[in-house]
Structure 1
Amino acid sequence: MKTKLTIVAAAAALTLSGCVSPDVVTKTQVGDSKLTCGEIETQLVQLEEIRAEAKKGKTVSGANVAAALLFWPAIIGNHANATEALAAANERHEVLVALANKKRCKF
């Protein structure tokens, strides 16, 4: 019995560690006005990676299904985090694009 419980706990831990947990960025950051065009471009690329990860968290994936079966609150938290991260990334994107336009960046 103890062995089965250990196996189930280990499987749950592995499954939950596979859940998507994208970064939630802030809309504006200290020093935004000092960013160069190259730095803005780099941040835009990083935002696309965060968006892609957030979108994974909102889809039905093997990790999300397993999490729902083993510990259903994890899927709710995962989806909420992904939604928040995607909204924050979209807001940050708007700020960076406006800043790039103001600085007349060409990329």
Structure 2
Amino acid sequence: MIKIFKSIAVASVAASLTACASPEVVDKRQMGDEQLSCMQLASEIQEAHEFERNAQKEKGITGTNVAAAVIFWPAIIGTYSNANDAIKAAKARKEHLVALSTKKGCGS
């Protein structure tokens, strides 16, 4: 019976940590990147920039973060960790797209 309660507690903690981790982590490379036109590359770079900006916002003082800190403080650690992963991924995506853009001679 105690094992069941421990399992439920562990599952609840894991669910709580991942539920608060909201910034989307994008893939550095996506299928079809090499076929994008210069205009599409510029659009994808802007989109990656928005992903990074949104992830930065998640690290600030938000209602969700305050509630997480008050109700279940480990959840805030999950959110910050996820936000850092999302920021790194967005920066890597932008670097990849800029390299493709340069390789294609876009913006010259």
Q: Shorter-chain TM-score: what band?
A: 0.7 to 0.9
Cα distance in 2 for residues equivalent to 1:20 and 1:72 = 13
Q: What 5-or-longer segments of structure 1 have no aligned partner?
A: 1-16
Contact 1:50–1:89 at 8 Å: present in 2 too? yes
Q: Kindly indicate whether the alpha-carbon contact (under 8 Å) linking 1:37 and 1:103 is maintained by their aligned counterparts in 2.
A: yes
Give the RMSD, CA atoms, in angstroms: 1.9
Q: Separation in 2 of the partners of 1:47 and 1:32?
A: 13
Contact 1:20 1:56 in 2 (8 A): no
Instruction: Tell me the CA shift for residue 62 of structure 1.
Output: 3.5
Between the aligned residues of both structures, percent identity stands at 47
What residue in structure 2 maps to residue 53 of structure 1? 54
Q: State the partner residue of 2:72.
A: 71
Which residue does 2:16 correspond to in 1?
A: none
Do the aligned residues in 1 keep the contact of 2:21 with 2:78 (CA within 8 Å)? no
SS in 1 for 2:27: coil
- Which stretches of structure 1, 4 residues or longer, exceed 6 Å deviation after superposition? none
TM-score normalized by the length of structure 2:
0.74
Q: CA deviation at 1:58?
A: 1.7
Question: How many pairs align?
Answer: 90
